[in-house]
Chains A and B, each alone.
Chain A
Amino acid sequence: MLTCKEFDAFMVDYLDGGLPVWQKFMCWMHVKMCRECAYFVQQYRRAVALGQDAFDTPDDAVPDSVPEELVKAALAHRKAR
């Protein structure tokens, strides 16, 4: 069985589904057998989901408009060149 440290090195690929079948199985087995890693994976996934959710809110969405001075400055900048 993989050690926790060995499993940790595979974690990004494991969660992305990017591992060959055998390594994927070894990781899956490790998570089934190791309570600490199972908890770590659960919290790790939740942290990623929270991060994604934090940037998927209406007030972070594309603003309706850009301050007029920024628009004018960008156009003036072009003419200056």
Chain B
Amino acid sequence: MTLAPSIADESDLSDESRTRQPKNRNDTESSLINSLREGDDRAYESLVRIYGPQVLSVARRYLRSEADAADCFQETFLAIFQGIEKFEQRSSLRHWIRGVTINHCLMRIRKSQRLRENSIDHMLPVFDERGSRVEIAGPRDITAIGDSLDKQQRRNLVREHINKLPQDFRVVLLLRDIDGYTTWEAATILGISTSALKTRLHRARSALKFRLEPIMEQTNFHADL
């Protein structure tokens, strides 16, 4: 199995992302890796039980259906089982596994038959002939927003809006703003230039802003952020 330009490749990790990892590797992690390399069945089961929740959580975030997340879970662990020999322990096992998971999510997204997705052009900034910003007022879905949206309802609504973004834009937003990858890392993962990544990110954020305006117009929405 060939991975796409990959955060699973440890050499792709920037110094910044490395600093997110603890400096001293846990002995338990090294011991688990050694057991996996020896083909110990119990170690494989431990690996799935320890890191399975993380893999499933990431897969659910990137993929829109539970069935796709479950399939990605299987594919990811198969890739981990096959790739553990090559894992050089320059990043933590957790970080490596997260990278493998995201790669598999992205491969699944790329392979899936691309449905015709709604354009976000009408949600993007508009400028007049002099380059001045023009206020855009499009139809906005305010029906789902009641007078008093509690914190959890608001979070669910925001997630729905993110999930409604076209895949290319949703993925960029998840990589950069949610999973915290740098521009360079996210561009490498997606196999695009950093300038293309920034353009796509700006469009994704602008579309999200457009979609969330009804929520943001609610008073005190940010008081508990």
Residues of chain A having any CB pair with chain B under 8 Å? 3-6, 8, 11-13, 16, 18, 34, 36-37, 40, 43-44, 46-55, 57, 59-66, 70-71, 73-75, 77-78, 81
The 6 A-B residue pairs with the shortest CB-CB distance, nearest first, are: A3-B131, A54-B158, A5-B131, A4-B133, A66-B52, A47-B209
| Interface membership of chain B positions 143-172, coded 1 if the CB is closer than 8 angstroms to chain A and 0 otherwise | 000000000101110110010000000000
| Cβ-closest chain A residue relative to B155 | A54
The reply to whether A61 and B48 form a contact with Cβ atoms under 8 Å apart is: no
| Cβ-closest chain B residue relative to A69 | B70
| Cβ-closest chain A residue relative to B213 | A43
- Main secondary structure on B side of the interface with A: helix
The reply to whether A71 and B205 form a contact with Cβ atoms under 8 Å apart is: no
At the interface, yes or no: B54 with Cβ under 8 Å from chain A? yes
The reply to whether B133 and A81 form a contact with Cβ atoms under 8 Å apart is: no
Residues of chain B having any CB pair with chain A under 8 Å? 41, 44-45, 48-49, 52-57, 61, 70, 73-74, 77-78, 81-82, 125, 127, 130-133, 135, 152, 154-156, 158-159, 162, 173, 177-178, 183, 198, 201-202, 205-206, 208-209, 212-213, 215-216, 221-222, 225
Residues of B within 8 A of A46 (CB): 209, 212, 216, 221-222
Chain B nearest Cβ from A54, distance in angstroms: 4
The reply to whether A70 and B159 form a contact with Cβ atoms under 8 Å apart is: no
The reply to whether A50 and B216 form a contact with Cβ atoms under 8 Å apart is: yes
A57 to B150, alpha carbons, bound, how many Å? 13
The reply to whether B162 and A51 form a contact with Cβ atoms under 8 Å apart is: yes
Residues of A within 8 A of B70 (CB): 70
The reply to whether B225 and A49 form a contact with Cβ atoms under 8 Å apart is: yes
A12 to B74, alpha carbons, bound, how many Å? 36
| Cβ-closest chain A residue relative to B162 | A51
Residues of A within 8 A of B155 (CB): 53-54, 57, 60
Residues of A within 8 A of B52 (CB): 65-66, 70-71, 74
- Main secondary structure on A side of the interface with B: helix
The reply to whether A43 and B44 form a contact with Cβ atoms under 8 Å apart is: no
Chain A nearest Cβ from B186, distance in angstroms: 12
A43 to B214, alpha carbons, bound, how many Å? 11
The reply to whether A78 and B208 form a contact with Cβ atoms under 8 Å apart is: no
The reply to whether A3 and B130 form a contact with Cβ atoms under 8 Å apart is: yes
The reply to whether A8 and B125 form a contact with Cβ atoms under 8 Å apart is: yes
Residues of A within 8 A of B177 (CB): 48, 51-52
The reply to whether A54 and B159 form a contact with Cβ atoms under 8 Å apart is: yes
A47 to B70, alpha carbons, bound, how many Å? 30
Chain B nearest Cβ from A77, distance in angstroms: 5
Residues of B within 8 A of A47 (CB): 205, 208-209, 212, 216
| Cβ-closest chain A residue relative to B173 | A51
| Cβ-closest chain A residue relative to B61 | A55
